[in-house]
Amino acid sequence: MKAHDGNPLTNFYQLGLDVLALCLFNGSYSATEVAEFFNHYKKNYYFGGQFSVDTGAMAVLALTCVNRSLTNEQIKADKNLKKIDELISFLVEKIMSEKKENGLIGNTFSTGVAMQALFVSSNYYNESEWDCQQTLDTILQEISQGVFNNPTAAAQILPPLMGRTYLDVEDCPYVSGLDTFNISNHVPESERSNSSSLIMVYYSVVINETYSINVTVPNGSVFLDVMKAARKKNETTFGFTMEQSSWGPYITSVQGLYANNNKRTYWELLSDGKALSQGVGSYVVHEEENLEIRWSTY
């Protein structure tokens, strides 16, 4: 981070996961350094100027674990450690301010981690500030519509549905049996695809110039199908590469221009000018929709 102007080459969500793992499994780390990193580089809680609820929530979970492991002597001896308390308070306030009218916190997919963070930090807000039941009702409705079919999305929402958080991981009696689990990411084609009819969508690649095309795809297609159809028509303009990740396919390049963590660049997905909350493998497109993939920074 120090060599990159305070920007981690991964991200603060991952720093949160790392600290949480070290803390839960009694690894060795310096609580003072943890406090420093999470406090000093606050810009890393934001992507493109927007507070990332997922990132803040993961930090709250990690910091809470660290805070719980501190002895009173440590706190008295080191002023930095007092900052952990202040930092949790700051993050909880930010998370709370991203609460929506329907109870979601941030968006659908950050709500699971946000709920976990709020479960462990109830000292830092007023009971009346958060209607947990409303959040739960909205989430259950979304689950029944298949919104959480992605296994990674499910993994983030499942603990709070059971009244649990990632801080409870150490209690899990099944850890040694996890490798016998076989979770398939396969969603039957028939569930989302109705190929009996075709729809037309607008698709643009935006770098400094805008490259547009109209493509026809079967009704029920996802964003990735549109990109493939466009690529078939013009490989030079609409060619792209992707990488599998836990959330599905991640777009790494378009027109040979590659996203780069060092430079904080990425390919952003939009519909009618609004950033999408799903990736190219999940987002189902609609007739006459204005789809865009834009060269952006975060």
Ligand X SMILES: *[C@@H]1O[C@H](CO)[C@@H](O)[C@H](O)[C@H]1NC(C)=O
Which positions make up the binding site for cyanocob(III)alamin? 10-14, 54, 107, 156, 250-251, 267-269, 276, 298
**Which one-letter DSSP state was computed for residue 107?**
S
* Residues 25-84 interacting with ligand B12 (rule: CB under 6 A): 47, 52, 54-55
Instruction: Give 16 or 81: the residue with its C-beta nearer to ligand B12.
Output: 16
Crossing angle for the helix pair 31-40 and 53-69, to the nearest 10 degrees: 160
Cα–Cα distances (Å) from 288 to 26, 93, 200, 238, 261, in that order, read 54, 40, 6, 19, 33
162-159-134 Cα angle (round to 5) = 65
Residue 121's binding partner out of ligand X, ligand B12, none, with CB under 5 to 8 Å set by partner kind: ligand X
Closest residue to ligand B12, based on beta-carbon distance: 279
297 binds ligand X (CB under 6 A): no
* Residues 154-213 interacting with ligand X (rule: CB under 6 A): 170, 182, 184, 194, 196-197, 199, 202, 207-208, 211-213
Residue 228 CA to residue 234 CA, distance in Å, equals 10
262 binds ligand X (CB under 6 A): no
113 binds ligand B12 (CB under 6 A): yes
Residue 140 CA to residue 144 CA, distance in Å, equals 6
Binding site, annotated residues: 10-14, 54, 107, 156, 250-251, 267-269, 276, 298
Residue 175 CA to residue 69 CA, distance in Å, equals 22
- Interface residue with ligand B12 among 121, 150, 165, 221 (CB under 6 A) is 150
Is residue 40 within 8 Å of 86, Cβ to Cβ?
no
Residue 226 CA to residue 254 CA, distance in Å, equals 14
Residue 262 CA to residue 28 CA, distance in Å, equals 28
- Interface residue with ligand B12 among 115, 226, 280, 285 (CB under 6 A) is 280
Provide, rounded to whole angstroms, the least separation between the CB of residue 91 and ligand B12.
14
CA 119, chain centre distance (Å): 19
Beta bridge mates, 200: 216
- Interface residue with ligand B12 among 98, 142, 225, 268 (CB under 6 A) is 268
Instruction: Give 23 or 53: the residue with its C-beta nearer to ligand X.
Output: 23
Residue 184 CA to residue 178 CA, distance in Å, equals 14
Judged by the rule CB under 6 A, the positions of this chain that interact with ligand B12 are 10-11, 13-14, 17, 47, 52, 54-55, 106-107, 109-110, 113, 150, 153, 156, 245-251, 261, 266-269, 275-280, 282, 298
Q: What residue ranges bind ligand X (CB under 6 A)?
A: 25-26, 64, 67-68, 85, 88, 121, 123, 126, 128, 170, 182, 184, 194, 196-197, 199, 202, 207-208, 211-214, 219-220, 234, 236-237, 287, 295
